[in-house]
Structure 1
Amino acid sequence: MAKGDDAIMRKKNRHNRKRVRSSESAVSARAAAIIASKRRRKAGQRRICEGMCYTLPTPDDPYNERHGKKEPEKNKKKKSKDNPSEKQNQKKMLVGSGENLLEQSCPSKFLIVCLNAIKNAWREEGELEEGDISSWGLDLWRCCSNGLSNVLDTSGSCGTREQIAWTVSVVSDIIARKEKQGILVSSPYLLYIVPTQEKAVQVRSICKPLKALGIHAVSLHPGASIQHQLRGLKSCEPEFLISTPGRLLELISLKAVDISSVSLLVIDGLGIGCSEEMKYADKLNSIKETITSNPHVMVFSNHCDQMAALAHNLLGGPITRLSLNDSVTSRSAFISQNVHHCASQEQKIAKIQEILLQSMRDEGKLTKMLLVMKSESKNELTASLLNLENCTISNTSSSGSFSLHHREKVMRVVVKDKQSLQLDKVENFEMVLVADLPSAIEEYVEILTRIARHSVTGVLHSIFCQADAHLTKSLIDLLTECKQAVPQFLMDFDSLVDL
């Protein structure tokens, strides 16, 4: 045995002898534990397991991790300073009943991830982005975050690649957030209707990068056999379903696909069906009737007036208008412009009466119209309306607003002059009558492009007099650009001005 081991053994034996000698006068184990516990209490130290015995949990310290000790004042002050900013930056979360999206103050990280996945796929394929449409995408996202209202886009006949990328990314974010909140998501959640096979292939290729993020898309079109598509539908439950109207109705008749619980219906290329309007309209209406879950609708349409009735039938109630460009043609889509002629200022009151009565006959039981005219003509108009046959006026106010009653129909007329007219309020009216044209055509365009922002169709009436002859050329060009009928009297005025 080495010398070092001997030394260790001697030291250990000496320690054992001392312990035996001291144990003769020592207290019992129970008394020693009590003494040790008392010393720990006096020293402010105790075991973690004894924490709940000495101190009850509080709202600030529910798990008693601080063992009854107060939080340092420095930390309290620091937290009180940070709380207001945390509340401002905190995202607003509003859980809906399954139809509304969770409301947020800024786009989520998952939405940006979806967009980047699609754009990275474009770069790998050597395709360049056509332009930055982030402002359009944020407007679409705001519509979704406010409850996903129906959307009408009049930028062109079909949605661009960037618009489709934003649309599917926003919907993917909706699905991800609903699943995170434990809300059951229907399959398919999005039904994307396209006019042609080529458009279906394009939309499917844009959705393809989202598969790695858990979003599956299936395209249905006449280019593939129906048996192949039947096997594909049975093998998965896609979140996105992209289809042409004819092939979708064929699969529905075979009970191969169920779209009754679709939450969002996107109709891309509405104006392309103008050549076969009735046939195309019947197919879309049949698809809309098959969906029993009252889906939200988004329509990409051109400025074809023949599609106004179909778009109104598909979209229904309050909508949000979106457009990639600020052109007058795009912003005034589906808004009718009617220019009336008066030989003198004295005939204006009679013409206003005629327009009001005609509008009451054409419109429904409850109608609202904005009347823009000079302030000095308000009282004269109200007095003249009191003498109308088969028509009564009520609810008059100092501002000149009143209600007209004609048989069972009621029209609320809000009268404003140019000084008190607020352009941001014009968007709440579907019917506007400009009794006195502005001095510049830009003011007329401003009113035109703000009408019916929350409805599909709108009507703008205007009264043209001899004093407005300087607007003849501009008004003709505007009507021609918007594909509206140009009255003959405007053409006559234009020829006289040229002379």
Structure 2
Amino acid sequence: MTENKFKNFKLPSYLIKAVQAINFYQPTAIQERVIPDILKGQSVVGQSATGSGKTHAFLLPLFARIDPEVQAVQAVQAVITTPSRELAYQIYAAAKQLNKFAPQPLTIHNYVGGTDKQHQLDQLARKQPQLVIGTPGRVLDLIKSQALDIHTATMFVVDEADMTLDMGFLEQVDQIASNFPEDLQMMVFSATIPKKLRPFLKKYMANPQVEEIPTQAVINPDVQNWLMSTKGQDKNQLIYRLLTMGEPYLALVFANTKERVEELTRYLEGQGLKVAMIHGGLEARRRKRTMRQVRNLDYQYVVATDLAARGIDIDGVSLVINDDIPTDLEYFVHRVGRTGRNGMNGTAITLYAPAEDDLIDKLEERGIKFIPKEFRGGRLVTTHDRNRRKKYRRKQAELDPSMKGFVKKTKKRVKPGYKKRIKQAIKKDEQQKRKLELRHKIRKAKRQRQRQHRRERNAR
């Protein structure tokens, strides 16, 4: 039997049973780093990639720290905010799964916009939940209505903080935070920590434990990241062809606008595919129903805007197609992060037009590595690197001025063996440059290790 390494955290035994029930045996890097700190009551900032296990990184220690005995005087002990309804439902579902194994189940309520507020007010008048999960707008609304009382809570989680900032909800989260007592343990989780987020962190977190999990690759290594040009092709037909060339368990297609989502959905349905459509313009009840149907695998194909990129957390997404490159490049990682989860393989295909070459360059600068693909003779094949001509020209241009002079002089002499001498000189020059580049990498790695040692020393 596989040993469950979550036992090393000394969590309550029911939580070990709960994670085993969903086949979690080995903690992820972010879980390894933050769970011990949260269990000790430390405020933390956890930065790691999408799909790295952040949800259980805060849920497990929260469940361990919430006191189930506080029943006679039911009181809120922890609050979790997340920027989208889909994410709130996802966290709520994960919390309910843990709660099923608890000897004394917690009272957990989920508050999101588009739901029956009056029912929630009546519910709160009878009993306060011990764990609150919800979107910032609805949680703040219930606090202002004097229905939800969070002054007793000592733990506050801000999930997907960068998305909270992007969607304009940070001010609401700030107002929620101002209602907590001074001895607040705050946990902020995010794929990125933008500069605009730092004043908020500084305001509420005097000395947080910052855990940044660097990734060897921006994209999960279990994901094949393909790149395809749409030059001279009908994009709708190309997407249909990609969706139907195999038998994807669940395929997600991401587009930048709700208009494009609707157009593509109509086209694919016209080709006989059963397609789920998700975007921010849909009524909340319809979105919730569609998400439930997707989770139940009633659909094999989903077309969505970035709203759903962080809300669809389903094991088994085998294919992601980017209809176009997201306006905010941060969302690229969130889209692709929907596949290749929990050790399963996945494929992400990004379509681009020639005019978007610079955006592909920017993604590659961030460490994203693409495999170029194209259809040839009815088969999808790996093709040439789109930058091969640029790289060749750049290599020629990178010769030192002294080397250029040497080449010119040697050409003028036109003595026997001059081509061989040119090649040898160029080879020697390239070797020297590689040595310098290697030396630079070693020094950079050394500086990073020194900074890491300083952070760990300061954390003690």
TM-score category of the 2 structures, normalised to the smaller one: 0.3 to 0.5
TM-score scaled to structure 1, two decimals?
Answer: 0.40
TM-score scaled to structure 2, two decimals?
Answer: 0.43
The answer to which structure, 1 or 2, has the higher relative contact order (CA under 8 A, 6+ apart) is: 2
Higher Cα radius of gyration = 1
